Structure 1
Amino acid sequence: MKPSSAVLTLIAAAALSLASAVSAFSAEIKPFQQEAFAAAQKAGQPIVVDITASWCPTCKAQKPIIDTLAKSGDFKDLTIFQVDFDSQKDVVRALGANMQSTLIGYRGTKETARSVGDTKAASIEKLFQSTAM
């Protein structure tokens, strides 16, 4: 028995609705832009800056941990700004970072935690938690 187009449309609409609901409970991950970062800080938002490089094995190990935490409802208000270590050297310097695989937590303009090279889910989660209001 072949499903009708109405049933397929209903299934597609349900999937889209579910995807929208999940994203409403997820942290936002976006490329670092100074204006957006400054606005989030001024608004007092919880922020994590992820300084990453495509060639970095530690960054690759951090990525699934960050993605999992971002999708958890615990951090739905968090914004994660990704800084490209190779192409955004000015931002890396301005943030006082020396290497890729650096994670920096903020609550508004206040730095709450910093780690370099950490690939332990529990301690990365603790850094995320430090940003909570």
Structure 2
Amino acid sequence: MFSRRSLLALFAVLTAPGIAAAAEQAFDAETFAAAQAAGKSIVVHVYAPWCPTCRAQEPILRKLESDPKFSNVAAFRVDFDGQKDAVRALRATQQSTIIVFKGAKEIGRSVGETDPGSIGALVDKAL
């Protein structure tokens, strides 16, 4: 069994800025297109490490991604500064944008949202 202290330490490591969620993967156009073609539910987080709003969204998304009901949702992180082609293709005008797709169809988007309930409602649309 894990002690409370070791669980808290693990939580601190997993929620540290710059560490991607276990279910989240770096955005790759081919993998994203394949997920869309397969009709998968998809969540895209347009992220910048210097963005405090992005860092506030990160543990909320991580918690949602760890929920078993989202186990079949593909989660991608787009680097706002380093993946400008993807940012343009997704029509994301700023970092801290969360976009939800069902297959190739965009079904929801938020920018700058940090309320867990609102983000949860947005991600629920993917199911």
Kindly indicate which of the two structures has a greater share of residues assigned to helix.
1
% identical aligned pairs: 50
User: Match for residue 75 of structure 2?
Assistant: 80
Alignment of 1:48-87 (within 5 A): 48-87=43-82
| Matching residue of 1:44 | 39
From the CA coordinates, give the structure whose radius of gyration is larger.
1
What CA distance in whole angstroms lies between the structure 1 residues aligned with 2:106 and 2:23? 19
Amino acid at match of 2:81: D
Which structure 1 residue ranges, 4+ long, deviate > 2 Å from structure 2?
none
Partners of 1:35 and 1:94 in 2: CA distance: 13
CA RMSD of aligned residues (A): 1.5
Q: Paired residue for 1:33?
A: 28
Matches within 5 A, 1:1-133: 28-132=23-127
- Which consecutive residues of structure 1, in runs of 5 or more, have no partner in the other structure? 1-10, 12-26
Code of the aligned partner of 2:106: E
TM-score if structure 1 supplies the norm length?
0.78
- Residue by residue, what CA displacement relative to the aligned partner does 1:34-71 show, whole Å, maximum 9, x if unpaired? 00000000000000010000000000000000000011
Letter aligned with residue 32 of structure 2: F
- When the two structures are superposed, what TM-score results if normalisation uses the length of structure 2? 0.82
Q: Distance in 2 between matches of 1:28 and 1:36?
A: 14
